Structure 1
Amino acid sequence: MAKSTFQNKPTTCVCLANTFLFLSLLLFLLLLLWNLSSFYNPIPIIHSPFTKSKSEPKLEPDGVVGSPNCAAHELCDPPEKSFYDNPGLSYSIEKPMKNWDEKRSDWLKQHLSFATGARDRILVVTGSQPLPCENPIGDHLLLRLFKNKVDYCRIHGYDIFYNNAYLHPKMDAYWAKFPVIRATMLAHPEVEWIWWIDSDAVFTDMKFRVPLDRYKDHNLVVYGWPNLVYEDKANKSGTSLNAGVFMIRNCQWSMDLVNDWAEMGPNSPNYKKWGQIQLSTFKDKTYPHSDDQSALIYLLFKHKDKWGNKTYIENEYYFQGYWVEIVKTYDNITEGYKEVEILGPTLRRRHAEKLSEYYAKLREPYLEDAGFKRRRPFVTHFTGCQQCNGIHNTMYVGDTCWIEMQRALNFADNQVLRNYGFVHPDLMNSSFVSPLPFDYPA
């Protein structure tokens, strides 16, 4: 019996070893198959209330990342085509734009975040020549003039576009603004108004906000005198309005006006002819070249039904005013505002810059009750000074332009610096400031 048991032991061990080897091999194959399958069927991630899934961008069938519609609070560009996708779209002023109202309306419907408040949205547009000024003081002045516009836009929440490139090779000087305005309308469909302001114009009432409700039925706002533009036909004046500061609505009417207006410019084959027509029409015109201001006046009184009825000629406040008449009034105006603050002590309260418009509204009743009608001029325009080509102008004595422009810029800057606790004690000197006196006007 013992012998028999000894003889069967090796056979039993071999069977157990083979079984163990088979099971190990089977387990290895199962693990291998499971690992291979994980590359094709990843283990799904189960999100519990304590885990947050990452939102992946939605890929549309045409390969565009986006969503069919942008929510009112969302900044996005949906995949639906707009006028921007038209291969024939041209930003050049030489190619007229058609059906702009429909195209802009469709774009706003696709971009709901911009549609809200679009009717009151303003873009300030300005600029200067592409080359350095001949007079180094001119570049300094351009910098300060630009700062003035940036300050005003920041206070009122406007965007600003500064251009110093000629967008058309033939349209320079005062004609250079038309290609810029045309391109700006296309680049900013979210904007209702394009507000062009010449580089030599200064905002001198930093708290004043343009009364857009007054212009709700108009597409162009300029400063001038309607009777001189439309009625005095025998003795037309080329200065019956000023085309250096104007607001134009972003619409098809304006596209057409800019096109007809620019047709009198140097890019037109009839440029010389238009110069002669203006020379014979405006008795105070002394040079033979067609200019933008005379061109606009001509369009308004010759085609009043087409252009005049939608143009608001503003003269109830200084939408822009001639500097020679305005700068000398700054001192009296400052004293008048001090008197108003005595009547309304709340106006002297320190406040954040973002509340400037609020305090401007608080001031209005005091100005009316005190009979104080001489308020700050909104815009002081230094027409004729040519600050870039040279401060000296044969029309004015010595450094008059530079001196008065310095006064205007400091006058405006004091209204800004007050929010920061400082002031220019001398309007003639911008090189230093001092802590703000408590009785300085807001």
Structure 2
Amino acid sequence: MAKPNPRKKPCPDGLLLLGATLFVLLLLWTLCSTRFHLTLFFHSYFSGRINKTSSDGLPGPPDRTFYDDPELSYSIEKPMKNWDEKRRKWLQLHPSLAAGVQDRILLVTGSQPSPCKNRIGDHLLLRAFKNKVDYCRIHGHDILYSNAHLHPKMDSYWAKLPIIRASMVAHPEIEWVWWVDADAIFTDMEFKLPMEKYKNHNLVVHGWPNMVYGDKENKSWTGLNAGSLLIRNCQWSMDMINEWAKMGPISENYENWGKILKSTFMDKPFPLPDDQSSLIYKLFTEKERWGEKTYLEWEYELEAYWVGVVEGYEEVREEYKEMEEEEGGLRRRHAEKESAWYGGKREEYMRRKGVRKKRAFVTHFTGCQPCNGEHNPSYDGEKCWKEMERALNFGDNQVIRNYGFIHRDLHSSAVSLLPYDYPWFDLY
């Protein structure tokens, strides 16, 4: 019997292939359309968030500010105009940052762009920066480190002016910019700046009024020291920096200014203008304009000349140990953030007891030049570096004590674990 023919398939292969292709295309279209709408949704959502002022002040509002002005310049060669008004309007748009602005300080420091020539220069600068970071963390200050010359002619001691000015523009939420030289070291970590003293002033610098404004026939270029200074973020300061810089390397009369300053300050050791003698000259020749708003601080060491300080570290340390042995509350262990409070209590105790040997607030290694090593010839280079290490360890002891350790020997970076109730129970 003949074999029956097989039945044909009800759906040809071509039709199945066409259906599958249409299904895949439809699926791809659906996915792409969904992704497009999700993209629009998230773009719209996040754009809406960015265009709002957040409670913590991170994203900014869409309103135009002085930053949108193409004429605004960060250059020290272009004077800033109407800065107080610009800054006021910006703060109005950032209410979360405007709160507490009067107490806000930005510490600015820096060093040269290239590596140090001195074999231990980079190490010393790193530790000196760590010292400043420690102080700022304890007291709640922001800190900025610059290793760039923001103007090619403004280097060395003049490099501070461009970065101070740029910092004011970049940080309208800051009331004070505090410049501290790289070779200046905090050696009293508890001390808190008495900012209430300066409420009617715009510039605070360590100096002596009689040396700056008096003795016109025998002026000294050391009547103040510009290595540690506070300057208010305001139009007055913008104008002061502008006028101050005109005596520096960007001036066409730079060499002539050097002759004027050399003839004014008989003890000035070099012929070209420097920032320090230039500032003194501005203050006493235009006292009404600049001097009236400048506070010459001499009641504490906003910076202290290192030669007269370093030899007394051990003696001061013993004085403070005796103080804590007598007053148990001062040696109590505490959180690092409480250090300023304990510092205030220590000040009260010292006034009550008439204690005179205090830690210098800032020890300034003027003339040591730790980076390039070209120190003042009247100093011994090795002594400079060793004393900087001792100063750094002296300041660091006040920091790492809150972590349970201490440098027993100021000549060494080695640390020892502190016993409970130190110094009543001593290390030795």
Q: Which band: TM-score by shorter chain?
A: 0.7 to 0.9
Q: Given the alignment of the two structures, is residue 77 of structure 1 paired with residue 60 of structure 2, yes or no? A: yes
Cα separation, 1, equivalents of 2:367 and 2:47:
57
- 1:201 matched to 2:184? The reply is yes
Q: Does 1:148 align with 2:140?
A: no
Kindly indicate whether the alpha-carbon contact (under 8 Å) linking 1:75 and 1:113 is maintained by their aligned counterparts in 2. Answer: no
Distance in 2, matches of 1:266 and 1:325, equals: 32
Q: Distance in 2 between matches of 1:366 and 1:135?
A: 43
Contact persistence 1:323–1:383 (CA under 8 A)? yes
The TM-score normalised by the length of structure 2 is: 0.87
How far the C-alpha of 1:298 sits from its partner, in A, is 0.2
Q: Give 1:269-280 correspondences, 5 Å limit.
A: 269-280=252-263
- Residue of structure 1 equivalent to 2:8: none
Q: 1:66 aligns with which of 33, 39, 51?
A: 51
CA offset at residue 158 of structure 1? Answer: 0.7
Following TM superposition, by how much is the alpha carbon of 1:223 offset from its aligned partner in structure 2, in angstroms?
Answer: 0.4
Unaligned runs of 5+ in 1: 1-35, 41-53
Give the structure 2 partner of residue 429 of structure 1.
412
Match in the other structure for 1:282: 265
Specify the alignment match of 2:78 in structure 1: 95
Which whole-Å CA distance do the structure 2 matches of 1:71 and 1:164 have between them?
Answer: 32
SS of equivalent residue, structure 1 residue 81:
coil
Give per-residue Cα distances to partners, 1:114-170, cap 9 Å, x unaligned.
000000100000000000011220011011100000000111111100000111011
Paired amino acid for 1:368: R
Task: Summarize the alignment of residues 313-352 of structure 1 with structure 2, pairs less than 5 Å apart.
Answer: 313-352=296-335
- Cα distance, 1:425–1:391 mapped onto 2, change above 3 Å: farther
- Aligned residues of 2:57 and 2:97 also touching (Cα < 8 A): no
**How many residues matched?**
386
Matched, 1:414 2:397: yes
Measure the CA separation in 2 of the matches of 1:433 and 1:230.
Answer: 47
Q: How does 1:15-94 map to 2 (within 5 A)?
A: 57=45, 65-67=50-52, 70=53, 73-94=56-77
Kept after mapping to 2: 8 A contact 1:340/1:370: no
- CA contact 2:50–2:59 (8 Å) conserved in 1: no
Give the aligned partner of residue 244 of structure 2. Answer: 261
Work out which of the residue numbers 243, 268, 277 in structure 2 matches 1:294: 277
- State whether residues 222 and 313 of structure 1, in contact with CA within 8 Å, keep that contact through their aligned partners in structure 2: yes
- The structure with the largest alpha-carbon Rg is 1
How far did residue 429 of structure 1 move? 1.1
Q: Structure 1 counterpart of 2:410, which letter?
A: L
Do the aligned partners of 1:391 and 1:402 also contact (CA within 8 Å) in 2? no
Shift in Å at residue 364 of structure 1?
Answer: 2.1
Q: Between 298-307 and 334-343, report the one with greater CA deviation.
A: 334-343
CA distance in 2, matches of 1:242, 1:335: 29
CA deviations on 1:242-261 (whole Å, 9 max, x unpaired) are 01110000000000000000
Structure 2 vs 1, CA of residues 75 and 355 (structure 1 numbering), >3 Å: closer, same or farther? same
Structure 2 counterpart of 1:186 = 169
Measure how far apart 1:373 and its partner are.
2.1
Which amino acid in 1 is paired with 2:418? L
Distance 2:274 2:347 in 1: 39
Provide the residue aligned with 2:22 in structure 1.
none
Deviation at 1:354, TM superposition (A): 1.2
SS in 2 for 1:214: helix
Q: Are 2:140 and 1:157 equivalent residues in the alignment?
A: yes
1:285-328 per-residue CA deviation (whole Å, 9 max, x = no partner) reads: 13210110000000000000000000000000111110001111
Offset at residue 241 of structure 1 (A): 0.3
Q: Deviations over 1:392-438 (max 9, x none)?
A: 642113511011111100000000010011111100111x1111244
Quote the Cα distance in structure 1 between the aligned partners of 2:176 and 2:116. 30
Aligned match of 1:24? none
User: 2:88: which partner in 1?
Assistant: 105
Amino acid at match of 1:378: F
Q: Deviations over 1:318-349 (max 9, x none)?
A: 11110001111211211111122123201111
3-state DSSP of counterpart to 1:206? coil
The CA distance in 2 between the partners of 1:74 and 1:132, in whole Å, is: 37
Partner-residue secondary structure (3-state), 1:264? coil
What CA distance in whole angstroms lies between the structure 2 residues aligned with 1:99 and 1:134?
Answer: 43
2:24 paired residue number: none
Q: CA RMSD of the aligned region, Å?
A: 2.1
Aligned residue identity for 2:267: D
Question: Structure 2 counterpart of 1:233, which letter?
Answer: K
CA contact (8 A) 2:220 2:266 kept: yes
Partner residue, 2:348: 365
Deviations 1:49-98 (A, max 9, x none): xxxxx9963757xxx9413xx36544330111000000111100011000
Q: Is the 8 A contact 1:128 1:199 kept in 2?
A: yes
Partner of 1:117: 100
Give 1:318's aligned amino acid: E
CA contact (8 A) 2:310 2:391 kept: yes
Q: SS of the counterpart of 1:396?
A: coil
Whether contact under 8 Å (1:203, 1:380) holds in the other structure is yes
Aligned partner of residue 196 in structure 1, secondary structure:
strand
Distance 2:322 2:43 in 1: 60
- Report the Cα distance in structure 2 between the residues aligned to 1:73 and 1:421, rounded to whole angstroms: 34
**Letter matched to residue 276 of structure 1:** K
Q: Which stretches of structure 1, 4 residues or longer, exceed 6 Å deviation after superposition?
A: none
Distance, in Å, in 1 between the alignment partners of 2:47 and 2:58 is 17
Asked if 1 retains the 8 angstrom alpha-carbon contact of 2:334 and 2:402, the reply is yes
